[in-house]
């Protein structure tokens, strides 16, 4: 319970806004944030990246062909060519281009439960 004297002090004290309270907390010892430089240059991000699909013993060849058609929009013949390369050689480079799009394709292929990786072109 607040006594009368304490209540009178609260009423007489000047009111501070939330901004003033926040500013006081920041100036009272919170360190300034440091800005780190990016380790990747724009040139490194623009280098071609490869989407590689690896062979697995689970997925049917017809299923892999269908996934290539849906994800990349390949015609059946091209999708089958990549599927056979995966089956016979263990892997196939199914797409090459900028990193952001390559990451999207890898994520989509994982969504179809295919084993796919992303590699930078040397």
The CATH number given to whatever domain includes residue 80 is 3.30.1390.10
pLDDT at 22 over 70: no
Strand order in the sheet with 115-120: 91-97, 49-54, 115-120
What phi and psi, each to the nearest 5 degrees, are found at residue 53? -105, 130
Residue 40 domain flag: no
Confidence grade of residue 47 (pLDDT, cut at 50, 70, 90): confident
Confidence grade of residue 85 (pLDDT, cut at 50, 70, 90): very high
Q: Which is it for strands 115-120 and 49-54: parallel, antiparallel or unpaired? A: antiparallel
Mean pLDDT over residues 42-48, rounded? 68
* Residues sharing a CB contact under 8 Å with residue 49, sequence separation 6 or more, in sequence order: 96, 97, 98, 99, 102, 118, 119, 120, 121
Q: Where are the beta strands (DSSP E) in 1-122?
A: 49-54, 91-97, 115-120
Residue 95 domain flag: yes
At 31 the pLDDT is 62
Q: Which domain holds residue 15?
A: 2-35+45-120
What phi and psi, each to the nearest 5 degrees, are found at residue 103? -60, -40
Number of domains in the chain: 1
């Amino acid at each position: 319970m607040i006594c009368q004297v304490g209540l009178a002090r609260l009423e007489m004290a000047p009111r501070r806004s939330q901004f003033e309270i926040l500013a006081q907390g920041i100036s009272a010892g919170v360190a300034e944030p440091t800005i780190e430089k990016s380790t990747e240059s724009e040139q490194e991000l623009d280098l071609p990246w490869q989407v590689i699909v690896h062979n697995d013993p689970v997925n049917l060849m017809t299923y892999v062909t269908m996934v290539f058609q849906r994800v990349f929009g390949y015609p059946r013949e091209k999708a089958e060519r990549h599927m056979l390369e995966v089956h016979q050689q263990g892997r196939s480079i199914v797409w090459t281009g900028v990193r952001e799009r390559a990451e999207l394709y890898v994520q989509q292929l994982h969504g179809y439960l295919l084993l796919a990786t992303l590699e930078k072109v040397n």
